[in-house]
């Protein structure tokens, strides 16, 4: 199975993502900041990155631009919590 990089400042969201994808047989790497996500993407070369838009240091959109500029062939899914905890919008950027 593929390797997934998840990035979110919310520890509970990180644990949820990690548990779900590990249960499905994926290798999962979690990052708790935008900069850590970028550095991990460069060093570990995951197949897909799940990035929260709102993060500390650098937000998910800035990390998205950095990953695309580094000419990496990586699928990036942007996540954000909108309209409360129960509503999640996902935007896929290829």
Cα dihedral sign for 25, 29, 30, 34? Answer: negative
pLDDT 10s digits, 53-62? 777 677 677 7
How far is the CA of 54 from the CAs of 6, 9, 33, 44, in angstroms? 13, 8, 10, 22
User: Which pLDDT score, from 0 to 100, does residue 26 have?
Assistant: 92
Domain extents in the chain: 3-93
Q: Are 17 and 28 in contact (CB under 8 A)?
A: yes
Predicted structure pTM score: 0.77
**CATH for 3-93?**
3.40.50.2300
Q: Are 5 and 34 in contact (CB under 8 A)?
A: no
Q: Are 72 and 46 in contact (CB under 8 A)?
A: no
pLDDT 10s digits, 61-83? 777 788 778 756 788 888 776 54
59 beta partners: none
């Amino acid at each position: 199975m593929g390797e997934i990089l998840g990035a979110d400042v919310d520890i509970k969201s990180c644990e949820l993502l990690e548990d779900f994808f590990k249960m499905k047989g994926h290798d999962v790497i979690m990052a708790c900041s935008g900069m850590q996500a970028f550095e991990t993407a460069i060093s570990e070369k995951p197949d897909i990155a799940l990035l929260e838009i709102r993060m500390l240091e650098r937000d998910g959109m800035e990390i998205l631009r950095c990953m695309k500029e580094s000419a990496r062939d990586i699928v990036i899914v942007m996540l954000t919590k909108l309209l409360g905890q129960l509503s999640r919008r996902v935007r896929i950027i290829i």
